[in-house]
Structure 1
């Protein structure tokens, strides 16, 4: 795990994705590529009453290269101001959205200021 991402309000994105500088290491059966990294979810925007749900503290494995952007899957997106967020990507009627699973939070309409920087390929809830 190299840094953290806020799942609610956008937080500063990780500045160093070099695996040798990771704070913690976790195993996974999923392939995130040579530059894959774990992030810890912060906030409640990705917590849902039903599955899937990514409560605060969940570790998410991010594949930063060689992924397809598919509506309904989960991604880390970065804003041009350098901040990042973890959300579900939805393409609907020609528009792209970053959707929180918690309906108390607002959906973000993607524009030219947003870039999807990684696909979430695994998740772990500590303590289970």
Structure 2
């Protein structure tokens, strides 16, 4: 397929396709990634990671940087389309966007005896570009620029940050800002 045929099939310019193919060029915009992957006959994870399923011999999994709580508050420093060796990386099975990152759970506020539970050491895959809805597990940034991991709940029109551990209080979202939605979680033992 020529560059022009490829561009026409996607409804983009030939110049956009040339940028995608160029060494050090730009990646397809998020809005185009699913269509590009489908046209190429690959998954979005393969497209984003640049590694095919056959090359790895397993299901394709992209990787995202594992950041600290401080870096999570400034997630825009992460660019998954221009990766650096600055961070350790974590394999993921969810679609990866430009600022998707991993974060390690600290403390026991999200440990529950029933249902979902996120013990200390768990790894969360966080998507900051996703709109949070009540029921989502979220990363929030308070007015003191501290991050917290809680469940977003709604009661009587107001939003709250709810820990799963009943020993901790539910707090109003107030001036805190949701900076990411948890998409995946894993626990590493070694």
TM-score by length of 1: 0.84
- Which protein has the larger Cα radius of gyration, Structure 1 or Structure 2? 2
Alignment of 1:107-118 (within 5 A): 107-111=170-174, 113-118=175-180
In structure 2, relative to structure 1, the CA distance for the partners of 1:22 and 1:30 (3 Å cut) is: farther
Larger helix percent:
2
Unaligned runs of 5+ in 1: 5-11
Unaligned runs of 5+ in 2: 1-65, 79-83
- Is residue 41 of structure 1 aligned with residue 105 of structure 2? yes
Q: What do residues 17-60 of structure 1 show as CA deviations (whole Å, max 9, x unaligned)?
A: 33436531111111241111100000000001122100000000
- Is residue 57 of structure 1 aligned with residue 121 of structure 2? yes
Larger strand percent:
1
Counterpart position of 2:183: 121
> Does 1 or 2 have the higher relative contact order (CA < 8 Å, sep 6+)?
1
RMSD of aligned residue pairs (Cα, Å):
1.8
- Deviation (angstroms), 1:88: 0.2
Query: Across the two proteins, how many residue pairs are aligned to each other?
Result: 119
- Deviation (angstroms), 1:79: 0.8
TM-score by length of 2: 0.58
In structure 2, relative to structure 1, the CA distance for the partners of 1:54 and 1:60 (3 Å cut) is: same
